[in-house]
Structure 1
Amino acid sequence: METTDVATFETRLLRPAKPGEDDSWAFIVLPRAASDQLPRRGRTSVEGTINGYAFSATLDPDGQLGHWFTVSRELREAAGANIGDTVTVRISPADPEPEPRLPDDLREALAAHPAAKACWDATTTIARVDWIHWIESAKQASTRARRVDSACDMLASGRKRVCCFDQSGFYSKSLSAPRAAD
């Protein structure tokens, strides 16, 4: 991977306080200075290295105008890092931004709404990232289902961007990095 580093920093590999059923993952919160060098406050894809081991990831907003990302067990092991270790991270924006994975519920809804699907196909990759992020940021299943329906309605009417969604989570505080275990 050949990238021009946008940010290089050292940080601690954190264990989530509530890892869910899979307790093998860790996470990294980018220092504010590193996030400030990225092109967006919302989700953004990067390429980089952890302790010299190459990776690619989609950074999530931390609700403080910064970013965080999940580090899998496989990535930790390949980078020779344990939870709690200080690691050296180098990142740069992915170019081009990779196409986001379409969630099953949205894929099915778009398949059932040809006009919405046509508008979806005409949007930019970044717009699709934002639509998916808006849907996936719903805390309840009923809210998510309403957002999928609303997305199809908005797209079918020709709207290529989701409106009224703070991709950074800063103003609504709907998004945040996981809380680290002590």
Structure 2
Amino acid sequence: MAAASDIRFKARVLRPAQPAGADWCFFVLPPAASKRLPSRSQVSVAGTLADAPFQATLEPDGAGGHWMKVAAPLLAAAGVGPGATVALQMAPLAEEPEPEVPDDLARALADHPQARATWDDITPRARRDWVQWVTSGKKAETRIKRLAVACDKLASGQRRACCFDRSGMYSKEFSAPRPAADQG
């Protein structure tokens, strides 16, 4: 029997147009499914894709919804490929997992002990927001500037990435990948 927080829907598995030859796919959640999630920004979930279990962090699509990258091993476990319509079940995780910290951010934190002290004291969700803010810059110089700003703000005790549109709805920084023209 499904838990009350289970979100069930069907979605089409799509191959991204870029990068060419990607070994991963993605799907976009139907609006009704996204609306049941606790946030318009990233949300970590656990569930099944065609009965294959997974845990993932959904990404904002910039329009109030979400999308999910599906790695090759999950595609294989589910026995699906591009163009397939699959049944999904998911629910938000009770506790946010630790984010993957990019090497440049890890080095910057190591070089700034006061920033690292605040980093170690904040929640995994707050750390994820800092990672997302730093990595969402499109240009290399923007990312370098954001690393310095993040370290300065963390060193001064700021715990959250302030004034950052986590959903992409206002900044249009986030969107689902564009699907390839030919879908399996």
Q: Which residue of 2 aligns with 1:9?
A: 9
Deviation at residue 5 of structure 1 after TM alignment: 4.6
Deviation at residue 136 of structure 1 after TM alignment: 1.1
Residue by residue over 1:133-152, the C-alpha shift from the partner in whole angstroms, topping out at 9 and shown as x without a partner, is: 11111111111111011000
Asked if residue 108 in structure 1 is aligned to residue 107 in structure 2, the reply is: yes
Structure 1-normalised TM-score? 0.94
CA distance in 2 between partners of 1:24 and 1:118 (Å): 38
Deviation at residue 19 of structure 1 after TM alignment: 2.4
Q: Which residue of 2 aligns with 1:45?
A: 44
Conservation of the 8 A alpha-carbon contact between 1:19 and 1:25 = no
Q: Which amino acid is the alignment partner of residue 68 of structure 2?
A: F
Structure 1 ranges of 4+ moved more than 4 A: 2-5
Deviation at residue 95 of structure 1 after TM alignment: 2.2
State percent identity of aligned pairs.
51
Structure 1 unaligned blocks of 5 or more: none
Secondary structure, counterpart of 2:54 in structure 1: strand
CA distance in 2 between partners of 1:180 and 1:5 (Å): 29
- Of stretches 134-143 and 4-13 in structure 1, the one that deviates more from structure 2 is 4-13
Q: Which residue of 2 aligns with 1:166?
A: 165
Secondary structure, counterpart of 1:145 in structure 2: helix
Mapping 1:118-137, distance limit 5 Å:
118-137=117-136
Mapping 1:55-94, distance limit 5 Å:
55-94=54-93
Secondary structure, counterpart of 2:130 in structure 1: helix
Q: Which amino acid is the alignment partner of residue 129 of structure 1?
A: R
Structure 2 unaligned blocks of 5 or more: none
